[in-house]
Amino acid sequence: MQGGIETHCEELFPRIAEKGFHITVVRRKNFIKDQLTTYKGVFLYDLSNLKKKSLETIVHTFRAIWFAKWKLNADIIHIHAIGPAILSPIARLFNMKVVFTHHGSDYERTKWGKTAKFILRMGERLGCKFANEVIVISNVINEHIKQKYKRSDANLIYNGVPAPVMVNDTSYLQVIGVESQKYIFAAGRFVPEKNFHTLIAAFALLHQTDVKLVIAGDADIEDNYSKALKQMAIKNGVILTGFVKGIRLQTLFTHAKFFVLPSLHEGLPIALLEAMSYHLPVIVSDIPATHTVDLPEDCYFSLNDENALFELLHKKLSSDLSPVSYNLEKYNWDTIAEKTAQIYKSLLK
């Protein structure tokens, strides 16, 4: 399983490449497990990056911008997220058109200190000010930048969700020690704002023996929080799969009893959209991002309320759950790619 932005790029850019654009994605080498130089018509270039958490993003972004200008002679640079957007003025100075996708106000995440939050806010400000075109992935973000930066011309293009791949084979479930329809599923990075500690605490209150909790994900860089979370999971019998993708992730979505997103902060969560594409019943935290996908009110629990989440988990487990049909028309990746390609074409004119 990848983060939301990585998944976003993996789905988006091959579709744009099919439309005749020469697309190069610059990746951080230390996080890459493969040796690919191309992927579905997209060129991949891996730059080594600093391992110092506070500097790696901005250094990598500067090197990527430099590479785009002086090695690729790129016409357009597409920057994802508010952190890297702090260097939007540099890209403009290099005479490149800048597209900035705002995936969410990352400075609201609890993992960042005061300095990091200041830099993220500055990145949001400079991205909104200097990008030729801004893309926002939700109405919440669109209203935010209208009010805060008077940027009223942003392009609202949602995150997408691919068609589900249903997996009948349950051999992976046997490997991790669960049965079909006998586990609750959650997925995401092991960072405080994903709030998995509250989910584990609420699950522990159930004193369940028949149904397991499975969390797919890990930390990009191991820290005190991720270590403590793993210890908490082991203590309470929670199954941690690590990062998974492809058939393993598809298997987990296919056979889950229901899906939980306990996050404190999100842009537009791709993991939730994926769960909905598999027609899973869902439980979500009551935050603006989860209200953008039009879920029934009984899906929500009060933010950070361990007891409220426990009660909702208990209610779901006590019910006869059926597959849920959601309206996901506006999250179609082909439509999203076409809208993004039109932005590129307008800049190239």
Q: What is the pLDDT of residues 213-233, one digit of tens each?
A: 999 999 988 899 999 999 999
162 band by pLDDT with thresholds 50, 70 and 90: confident
Q: Judge contact between 118 and 95, C-beta under 8 A.
A: no
Q: Would you give the distance in Å from CA 140 to the centre of its chain?
A: 16
pLDDT at 1 over 50: no
Q: What is the pLDDT of residues 253-267, one digit of tens each?
A: 999 999 999 999 887
Question: In this structure, are strands 24-28 and 258-261 parallel, antiparallel, or unpaired?
Answer: unpaired
User: Please, how many CA atoms are within 13 Å of residue 43, restricted to the half-sphere of its CB?
Assistant: 8
Using the CB atoms, write b or e for 36-73: b if 16+ within 10 Å: eeeeebbbbebeebeeeeeebbbebbebbbebbbeeee
3 band by pLDDT with thresholds 50, 70 and 90: low
Q: What is the pLDDT of residue 53?
A: 65
Encoded tokens for 65: 């911008």
What is each CA distance from 249 to 292, 300, 341, in whole angstroms?
Answer: 24, 24, 29
**Which residue ranges form the domains of the chain, and what is each CATH number?**
4-160+332-348 (3.40.50.2000), 171-328 (3.40.50.2000)
In the chain, the percentage of residues whose pLDDT exceeds 70 is 97
pLDDT at 54 over 90: no
Task: Please give the average per-residue pLDDT across 204-210, as a whole number.
Answer: 92
Q: What is the pLDDT of residue 253?
A: 98
Q: What is the pLDDT of residue 113?
A: 81
Task: Please give the average per-residue pLDDT across 164-171, as a whole number.
Answer: 96
Task: Please give the average per-residue pLDDT across 277-304, as a whole number.
Answer: 92
Partners of 120 in the beta sheet? none
Q: What is the pLDDT of residue 347?
A: 97
Tokens 């779901």 sit on residue? 316
Q: What is the pLDDT of residue 294?
A: 82
39-53, 76-90, 335-349: least confident range: 39-53
Task: Please give the average per-residue pLDDT across 241-250, as a whole number.
Answer: 94
Q: What is the mean pLDDT of the chain?
A: 93
Partners of 215 in the beta sheet? 186, 240
Q: What is the pLDDT of residue 56?
A: 80
pLDDT at 237 over 50: yes
Q: What is the pLDDT of residues 13-43, one digit of tens each?
A: 999 999 999 999 999 888 788 889 999 999 9
